[in-house]
Structure 1
Amino acid sequence: MSSRDSAARPTDTAPTASASRAAGRGSGVPGLLGSELATLFRRLRTWMMLGALGLVPVLLGVAVRIAGGTRPGRGPAFLDQVTDNGVFVGLAALTIAIPLFLPLTVSVVAGDTIAGEASLGTLRYLLVAPSGRVALLAVKYVAAAVFCVVATFAVVVVGVVVGAILFGAGPLTLLSGTPVSLAEGLLRCLAVVAYVSVSMLGLAAIGVLLSTLTTVPVGAMAATAILAVAAQIVGQIPQLSALHPYLFTDRWLDFGDLLRSPISWDSFLDNALLQGVWIVVAGALAVWRFTTRDVLT
């Protein structure tokens, strides 16, 4: 090949991070997933979003500390219990983050999965891996799902730590009025983290689907976030009550049964089933779109 031909096609031999991910980590799905997770959590954007989520319980705890407690029934759930036990700062912060802040960060990560690679021109390098397009799509979704867990966990952990510092921590009184030890209370918090993480999985699947429809990641991110807000608005309109059980946002805040005695897993299972349906539907559409599209970037 002449030097002229080489100069005409610089992108054919240019090393890229995605090429390294496709070849340097092995061709197996575990290696691809490990590389994807490492890339996700090396990004400054990821840590900035986690930091922003961590500010929610910090600001909440400081505000309650300065202004004092609130009367029962006023403000977000659990807010009136914060001054009695700092553990409730994590739960109160989570109820604040669920409607907007948490879905927004999930939308950014999920919307960037495929569209981000396409916009950078690195998607074709990832497709060199023999794992195949479906495996790549699954890896991208699993990475977004891991972020859902980490983001939810971050809000609760920071809230519990800040609450313990500002208000102390001890045995909890559950919503049913039953007192439990601090250890059991923290286990209940972990159950809530699992519930909310599952709640975000349907949204993550929608984000990945939208990411396969465009090469502009900002568009996929914005569309995913807008759908999350729109679904919650629809859920508040009584005239559209027939649609409510099918909305992926319908059970986002229904984790109260995990804070009662005896604990009931009905809400958890119903929410998991709802999110599972959305994952299957959005996932099937994403697979169809991604396996039939021409990768030109």
Structure 2
Amino acid sequence: MAAVVAEAPSAENPPSGHQTAGAVPVHRVLRFELVKQFSPWRTRLLILICWLGPAIVVIGIDQQANLPSDTLFGRELHATAWAAPLVALGFSGTWGLPLITSLVAGDVFASEDRLGTWRHLLVAVRSHRRIFAAKALASLSVIVLLVAGLIASSLVGGLIAAGSHPLIGLDGHTLAAGDAAGRILLAWACALAPTLALAGIGLLGSVALGRSPMGLLLPVIVGLGMQVAQMLPLPVAVRLALPGYAFISWNGLFAEPEQLSPLLIGVAVSLIWAAAATALAYLLFVRRDFTNLTHDGSGRKALAMGALPLIGVFALCAGVIAGATGATGSGIDQAGLQRSLATEFAHLYRLQEQQLHRPPVTETQLQASASCVKAEGLSAQEGPGDDWRCTVSWHVPGAALTGQAIYQLDVTPNGRYIADGDGPKEVNGYFLVHTADGDVPNPLWQFDGNVDLLATP
């Protein structure tokens, strides 16, 4: 049997004494690989979950009184359909997409090891390179199909549950339906970059570790590890050098002006990781000895040609980002937080005035400003934490008065903050606003915001 595999004809090792047969075209191998990808019940179940699950969950949440306010845009699920795809994106970046890449890309090569079908595939195709290209493209096709299902299902569920209404951005300005839809599609497109990075890591694990379960679990482990790292108080350069940051940086699309620098860096870093991991998987695959029918992967080779080069890519990206941006700290400072909070408060104050049917005002008239203190001024005035206390001041329209409102801020390491109103009651101390048309949610009571980690003073 080993002799049969050793003498299997291929583009790299044609059989001596015979006329060299041409390798099978990639499109034919790809069609065969797609059939294999869609045949298992596991893949069909995954497709069903991605195309139906988000809609069912969103409609179910709409029937509940409590909202997932700990998720970005979660508090807007009852208000507009456009919040649903963003909530789905936040959940998918943490759990869904790493799991999808594990089940698809993490098993595409290892399945041949488990079934012992390499000798048949090599004899039929006669090209290691075309086998790798077909398997990688088949995995990518399935992943894109599943991601499209997540987008479509969550949006349909949102339209059924809440209808198409304007979306409130992360700086308090209102996004019309068309604008919100365009930014949502762009946010999901950007999230494809870190998904490709995890898919490349899945291909690498599937090739390097063979039948070992670790190959299948590798994208999930790496994805969760990167999400945990984003929760730690790491320097900005280190944070952006991990492809997992692109699962978060899309929130900059929902501010005005858009916070594009972290997003573009995150996408570029993710694509670099994807290219590096896929290239390493390819090198391991074309150099593999297929005469060993009990191949279970080599831990030493996986470390030398898999983990260490990716660590080098991470270090290189961190160094380049630090040198190009000059970012060394957390990126969350007192000035940036005050600027963001004052801008968002001014936008939301105007919205509250509209709800109360009062004359319209402008940000110029309000002249809102914020003064924030961390830990009552007893520690450095920078960095994440739930001990930020801010006072927002503004000129009351139609009166020679200065209004003030208190907020408690919980700032996460990735720049997102939750502002919780602490009075006065008629401004931000109660979750409802009494209007002539009835009680409506108070936009100034609690809201999400975002600090640009690369903003320059």
Q: Which digits, 9 at most, give the CA deviation of each residue in 1:178-225, with x for residues without a partner?
A: 444433432322212211122200000011001111331633111331
* Residue identity opposite 1:213 in structure 2: A
Q: Secondary structure at the match of 1:175?
A: coil
Asked if 1:224 corresponds to 2:222, the answer is no
Q: Which residue of 2 aligns with 1:18?
A: none
For structure 1, which segment, 37-46 or 192-201, has the greater mean C-alpha deviation from structure 2 after superposition?
A: 37-46
Q: Deviation at 1:292? A: 1.2
* Residue identity opposite 1:107 in structure 2: S
Q: Deviation at 1:293? A: 1.0
| Cα pair 2:204 2:277 within 8 Å, conserved | yes
Higher relative contact order (CA 8 A, sep 6+): 1
Identify the structure with the greater strand proportion.
2
Question: Matched residues in 2 for 1:239 and 1:260: separation?
Answer: 24
Q: Deviation at 1:137? A: 1.7
Consecutive unaligned residues in structure 2, runs of 5 or more: 6-22, 294-457
Q: Which residue of 2 aligns with 1:23?
A: none
For structure 1, which segment, 77-86 or 33-42, has the greater mean C-alpha deviation from structure 2 after superposition?
A: 33-42
For structure 1, which segment, 228-237 or 180-189, has the greater mean C-alpha deviation from structure 2 after superposition?
A: 180-189
- Of 8, 31, 34, which aligns to 2:31? 34
| Cα pair 2:104 2:143 within 8 Å, conserved | no
* Residue identity opposite 2:64 in structure 1: I
Consecutive unaligned residues in structure 1, runs of 5 or more: 1-7, 13-25
Q: Deviation at 1:57? A: 4.8
Q: Which residue of 2 aligns with 1:135?
A: 130
Question: Over aligned residues, Cα RMSD in angstroms?
Answer: 2.8
Q: Deviation at 1:115? A: 0.8
Q: Secondary structure at the match of 2:209?
A: coil
* Residue identity opposite 1:37 in structure 2: L
Q: Which residue of 2 aligns with 1:17?
A: none
Identify the structure with the greater helix proportion.
1
Aligned length: 273
Q: Which residue of 1 aligns with 2:380?
A: none
- Of 239, 243, 250, which aligns to 1:244? 239
Larger Rg: 2
Q: Deviation at 1:263? A: 5.1
Q: Which residue of 1 aligns with 2:117?
A: 122
Question: Matched residues in 2 for 1:284 and 1:114: separation?
Answer: 15
Question: Matched residues in 2 for 1:293 and 1:75: separation?
Answer: 47
Q: Which residue of 1 aligns with 2:60?
A: 62
| Cα pair 1:248 1:278 within 8 Å, conserved | yes
Asked if 1:205 corresponds to 2:200, the answer is yes
* Residue identity opposite 1:118 in structure 2: D
Identical aligned residues as a percent: 25
Asked if 1:284 corresponds to 2:282, the answer is no
Question: Matched residues in 1 for 2:175 and 2:234: separation?
Answer: 41
Asked if 1:186 corresponds to 2:181, the answer is yes
Residues 258, 41 of structure 1: alpha-carbon distance in 2 compared, 3 angstrom cutoff: farther
Asked if 1:110 corresponds to 2:108, the answer is no
* Residue identity opposite 2:117 in structure 1: T
